[in-house]
Amino acid sequence: MGIPQSDIYTAILEGDETTVTEQVEKALQMGIPAGVLLNETLIPAMAEVGDLFEKGEYFVPEMLIAARAMKAGLSILKPLLAEAKAETNGKIAIGTVKGDLHDIGKNLVTIMLEGAGFEVLDLGVDVPAERFVEVIEKEHVDMVAMSALLTTTMVNIEMTMKMIGEKGLRDKVKIMVGGAPLTREYARSIGADGFAADASQAAKEALVLLGGK
Ligand code: B1M
Side-chain-side CA neighbours of 95 within 13 Å: the count stands at 25
Burial of 112 (0-12, 13-18, 19+ CB in 10 A): buried
Nearest 5°: phi and psi at 121? -100, 110
Q: From ligand 1's centre to the CA of 142, what distance in Å?
A: 26
What pLDDT is stored for residue 86 in this prediction?
61
Pocket test for ligand 1, best of 46, 106, 149, 175 (most atoms within 8 A of CB): 149
Q: What is the largest CA-CA distance in the chain?
A: 57
Q: Would the CATH topology of 3-83 be identical to that of 91-209?
A: no
Q: How far is the CA of 149 from the centre of ligand 1 (A)?
A: 5
The structure's pTM equals 0.85
What architecture (CATH level 2) is domain 3-83?
A: Orthogonal Bundle (1.10)
Which of 103, 27, 24, 31 shows the shortest CA–CA distance to 70? 24
CA of 123 to the centre of ligand 1 (A): 17
Ligand 1 center from residue 146 Cα (angstroms):
14
Can you list the residues of the chain whose pLDDT is less than 70?
1-2, 82-86, 212-213
Q: Kindly tell me the burial class for residue 175, based on how many C-beta atoms sit within 10 Å of its own C-beta (0-12, 13-18, 19 or more).
A: buried
The DSSP call for residue 124 is: -
The domain over range 91-209 is classified in CATH as 3.65.10.10: no
Q: Tens of pLDDT along 13-47? A: 999 999 999 999 999 999 999 888 987 898 889 88
For residues 166 and 38, what is the distance between their CA atoms, to the nearest angstrom? 38
pLDDT tens string 113-139: 988 889 999 999 999 999 999 999 999
The answer to whether 113 and 142 are in contact (CB under 8 A) is no
Domain ranges across the chain: 3-83, 91-209
Measured from the CB, is residue 198 less than 6 Å from ligand 1? yes
Residues 137-147 as b/e (b if ≥16 CB within 10 A, e otherwise) read eeeebbbbbbb
- Is the shortest distance between the CB of 97 and ligand 1 below 6 Å? no
DSSP one-letter string for 47-93? HHHHHHHHTTSS-HHHHHHHHHHHHHHHHHHHHHHHHTT---S-EEE
pLDDT of the residue at 112: 83
Q: Helix, strand or coil for residue 174? A: strand
